[in-house]
Amino acid sequence: MEGYNVEIASSYTAGRAAIERQSFDLVLTDLQLPDDHQGGLPLLRAVKERSPDTEVIVITGHGSITEAVEAGKSGAFYFVEKPFEADQILLLAGKALERRRLVSESENFRRHIQRREYSSIIGASKAMQMIYETIESIARSDANVLVIGESGTGKELIANAIHFNSLRADKDFVKVNCSALPKELIEAELFGYVKGAFTGAIQNRQGLIAQAKGGSLMLDEIGEMPMELQPKLLRVLEERRFRPVGSTETFEADFRI
């Protein structure tokens, strides 16, 4: 009928069975149904309990303000009194289904925005949507990432979002501020060292690269890294292997930077 797939139920019991069996976009029910002590309002409530998004139009031959208010409180889209024209019902059905579509799209958008807020990053502007799309695209890959921006723009929040939405999210996210470490210690912090490698190295120590195994490593202020150390880091990125300071043994590097 008019392009709609329609199922007919002749009583409250049959209607209740139908909504238990499957979901509907729209239900039309008479206020009086051929079941003892059952009617359209109990069916309306049953529909809304099972599927709150389903729209319901209630039809009656002896409408009253009380019944109309009760139907509205129970979630009815519209309360129609007999007699009515078929075109009237078709028009109401179209409006009800349009509202259901708009509500569904609004809810989906709300959920999408909520998912995209990434905990501490909040924003729904067009510019932020572009950033969210970039984060989602990057997070799905295992590529190394360079995050740039002015101080205070949230670069670390972006890095967090990328890691915690990636396939490495269940592993460690190790962070180091390259500008806060003495230049002579950065190599030892990154690669680790073995006992006796230098004065004060009284025992083996695991570096940040090893700690980030399976996870991600954030090098904050990477521009402050000493020039002489950058080729060593590049080699790790290319070969995926590293050597602790003072060691002759190399180890596998499995991290995202």
Q: Tens digits of per-residue pLDDT, 87-112?
A: 888 888 888 888 888 777 766 655 55
Record the tokens describing residue 247, joined without a space: 């060691």
Sorted by where each starts, the structural domains of the chain and their CATH numbers stand as: 12-111 (3.40.50.2300), 117-170 (no CATH), 171-257 (3.40.50.300)
What is the C-alpha separation between 182 and 172, in angstroms, rounded?
24
Q: Look up tokens 């889209």; give the residue.
A: 77
* 239 has pLDDT over 60: yes
Instruction: Indicate the pTM of the whole model.
Output: 0.52
Question: What's the rounded Cα separation, in Å, for the pair 92 and 72?
Answer: 15
Average pLDDT over residues 205-222: 90
